[in-house]
Chains A and B, each alone.
Chain A
Amino acid sequence: AQKITQTQPGMFVQEKEAVTLDCTYDTSDQSYGLFWYKQPSSGEMIFLIYQGSYDEQNATEGRYSLNFQKARKSANLVISASQLGDSAMYFCAMREGVSDYGNNRLAFGKGNQVVVIP
């Protein structure tokens, strides 16, 4: 079963506007981490923000914030005041904290393409 779902089609966003990228996840673990990565056209994977399952406050990192709704199992990324450099693919990911045994890999969604237009 897919652990991370990102279903939005490619998005065009006006510069300086906010954009929300949706992410839902599936886990039965109590301990897990949620992550967002940015992949620009150059290809590298850039870590943006982290939310722990026990964190009560929504995570924020500069212009990035994570809208964490645990009961709904959603972890939406909000980018405020979009810039041209925000044009990229964005990946939501989750890692369960089961144990040191087995492959508790980071599970990725399919990604959201964002294009910021001037």
Chain B
Amino acid sequence: EAQVTQNPRYLITVTGKKLTVTCSQNMNHEYMSWYRQDPGLGLRQIYYSMNVEVTDKGDVPEGYKVSRKEKRNFPLILESPSPNQTSLYFCASSLNGPYGYTFGSGTRLTVV
């Protein structure tokens, strides 16, 4: 089944404790991206990747890191999480061009 697998689904952590949210797709998509969704602010792009070893900042990259060492994986790293990073996070992948995203199931992150 073609899918984007995102883990964990729910995570509660403490301020400053490094964490990684994993994202993996099995569709050989070039483009992958991370979004966060907050009430009233909609979906905002954090980082994106056009292909292996090609990553760039989206609209709200501060406090996040990503890497794209393999085509299928695009982990999101929070080196020192803070409460303002409490949010619903989505990983998505697609072909490059006018194509829709396939979304992961989302990660609800709470930083206390």
Residues on A with C-beta less than 8 A from B58 are 103, 105
The answer to whether the Cβ of B65 comes within 8 Å of any Cβ in the partner chain is no
Complex contact B50–A47 (CB within 8 A): no
Residues on A with C-beta less than 8 A from B48 are 103, 105
Residues of B within 8 A of A (CB-CB), count: 24
Main secondary structure of the interface of A (DSSP, over half): loop
The answer to whether the Cβ of A32 comes within 8 Å of any Cβ in the partner chain is yes
**With A43-B106, A43-B108, A45-B103 given, is the CB distance from A104 to B97 under 8 Å?**
yes
Give residues 23-68 of B contacting A (CB, 8 Å).
Answer: 30, 33, 42-43, 45, 48, 50, 56, 58
- B interface list, Cβ under 8 A from A: 30, 33, 42-43, 45, 48, 50, 56, 58, 88, 90, 92, 94, 96-103, 105-106, 108
